[in-house]
Structure 1
Amino acid sequence: MPGRLAMTDQLRLPLQSDVPQGASTFVRSASNEEAVRVLERWPDAAGQVMAICGPAGCGKSHLAAIWAERVGAVALNGAEAAHHDPLELEGRPVLLDIAQDADDETLFHLINLAQADGGALLLVSRPSPRFWKVQVPDLRSRLDSIRVTAMEEPDDVVLAAILRARFAERSITPTDEVIDYLVRRIDRSAAAVEDVVARLDEQHRPVTRALARQVLEAAQTLPDEEDAADDEEN
């Protein structure tokens, strides 16, 4: 079932950037429930820093964007964060997505700025900050002490929701039977969803279970056929 993060007046500030409106489409499940519950009540004090980590396609950026919208956070992205004026961030909650791509100086400044009254910093990345490669010793110790909330790869509920959303973008409405069939057979990643939906759309036919089976079987045999063709040419 789609879930919406609880709204609070905690650190409520005007939006300072265009944050995606996605609360109504975020699906709560066992794979993300802990992270959702943590962000519903975070930050509960000024000067807090936290990281959300997880594999590609698990919904961590989506969840973080909902948090940013709720608290009015400034949304930054990876290495581009270095171009933002630090003076505009003091005393503000900040979201830094693809956080491991930010340089050491930027990360250090953002962590320091989060300590100001009204400040907070949410870092989003695939690996935990403990595994980021940094050169500044003080930054290393700070990253090691950050609270980390992990999200898991999409479970059946989330994967089904992603499939329906990607199909809907192409004005395709497959039956629940088709969705269930695909959930049991594709890799649990956003990339796998994008691939299978694109392949099915290319058929220009009603998306049925039979067609889904045909497309998946063709995808599985394609590498072998390509290898055989290469051997013949060689």
Structure 2
Amino acid sequence: MRAEQLPLDLARRPALGRADFVVTQANATALALIEAPRWPGGRLALTGPPACGKTHLVHVWAAATDAVVVQAADLTRYDIATLAGATRVAVEDVPGIAGQRGAEAALFHLYNRLSSMGGQLLVTGGDAPARWGIALPDLASRLSAMTVATIQAPDDALLGALLEKQLNDQKLSADLSTLVYLVNRMPRTAEAARDIAVELNRLSYARRRAVSRDMAREALARVGVSP
């Protein structure tokens, strides 16, 4: 088996600080709402395409407010009264619990407890909350009424910045000409930036070489893009 074929998990821990969040027109409005001291009713839904920076913004808010961050799928593992005691809670990937009675009920109780305490609740999902497919009517109506902060599909400036950050998270770097080469050819999504960085990390690790134009061309092919 060649080194390139080794089934290694080479992912690194991403940098999620405020200084690491690159601001462009695609995400400036969402950032402003996240950093606002008050939200209408103390509730905010953060939406946007995969890998666009939702989790990053959640952690920016959590660090600034001492909030607790949980996955929606894990809500049934928590004592909701204790969780609400944090007064500021972020629940990620709410659409992922659509139709799961226990998890939906837990989020409903968390919503109500935080409301009664004057706390804050931040939830995330891909589309607008009305499209999340939540089965519990009272929860669906509450989520649909929340103020929404949306990260738009990345413009060129954000796409380049996301790609550079994803490479930095993998402890890699690329010269400007290689970044431009990739941005001009890659799919216009944040998810593609993540996937390309992962492939470059695998190639760089396997070959013990820095990122190059040829390596970038191969990474594009590996994610299904004709270079």
| Shorter-chain TM band | 0.7 to 0.9
Please identify runs of 4+ aligned residues in structure 1 that moved more than 6 A: none
Asked whether the 8 Å contact 1:49–1:147 carries over to 2, the reply is: yes
Q: What are the equivalent positions in structure 2 for 1:156-175 lying under 5 Å apart? A: 156-175=156-175
Q: Deviations over 1:169-226 (max 9, x none)?
A: 444332111111211110133442243334445263543335534654675469xxxx
Q: Deviations over 1:41-71 (max 9, x none)?
A: 14257x5211011100110110111111111
Larger radius of gyration: 1
The answer to whether 1:121 aligns with 2:116 is no
> What's 2:25 paired with?
30
Asked whether the 8 Å contact 1:90–1:116 carries over to 2, the reply is: no
Q: Secondary structure at the match of 2:58?
A: helix
TM-score normalised by L of structure 2: 0.77
> What's 1:61 paired with?
55
Whole-Å separation in 2 of the counterparts to 1:44 and 1:214: 45
Asked whether the 8 Å contact 2:178–2:213 carries over to 1, the reply is: yes
Decide whether aligned partners of structure 1 residues 161 and 105 sit closer, same or farther in structure 2, where only a CA change above 3 A counts: same
> What's 2:211 paired with?
207
Q: What are the equivalent positions in structure 2 for 1:175-194 lying under 5 Å apart? A: 175-194=175-194
Q: Secondary structure at the match of 2:216?
A: helix
Q: In the comparison of the two structures, how many residue pairs are matched?
A: 202
Asked whether the 8 Å contact 1:91–1:118 carries over to 2, the reply is: no
> What's 2:87 paired with?
92
Q: Secondary structure at the match of 2:185?
A: coil
Give 1:85 deviation, angstroms: 1.2
Decide whether aligned partners of structure 1 residues 51 and 42 sit closer, same or farther in structure 2, where only a CA change above 3 A counts: farther
Decide whether aligned partners of structure 1 residues 52 and 171 sit closer, same or farther in structure 2, where only a CA change above 3 A counts: closer
The structure with more helix, counted as a fraction of residues: 2
Whole-Å separation in 2 of the counterparts to 1:177 and 1:147: 41
Whole-Å separation in 2 of the counterparts to 1:74 and 1:213: 41
Asked whether the 8 Å contact 1:78–1:99 carries over to 2, the reply is: yes
> What's 2:76 paired with?
82
Unaligned runs of 5+ in 1: 1-19, 223-234
Whole-Å separation in 1 of the counterparts to 2:135 and 2:221: 48
The answer to whether 1:149 aligns with 2:143 is no
Whole-Å separation in 2 of the counterparts to 1:123 and 1:110: 12
Decide whether aligned partners of structure 1 residues 177 and 97 sit closer, same or farther in structure 2, where only a CA change above 3 A counts: same
Whole-Å separation in 1 of the counterparts to 2:198 and 2:71: 28
Asked whether the 8 Å contact 2:67–2:86 carries over to 1, the reply is: no
The answer to whether 1:101 aligns with 2:96 is yes
Give 1:37 deviation, angstroms: 0.8
Q: Which amino acid aligns with 2:180?
A: D
> What's 1:232 paired with?
none
TM-score normalised by L of structure 1: 0.75
Decide whether aligned partners of structure 1 residues 125 and 44 sit closer, same or farther in structure 2, where only a CA change above 3 A counts: closer
Whole-Å separation in 1 of the counterparts to 2:199 and 2:136: 46
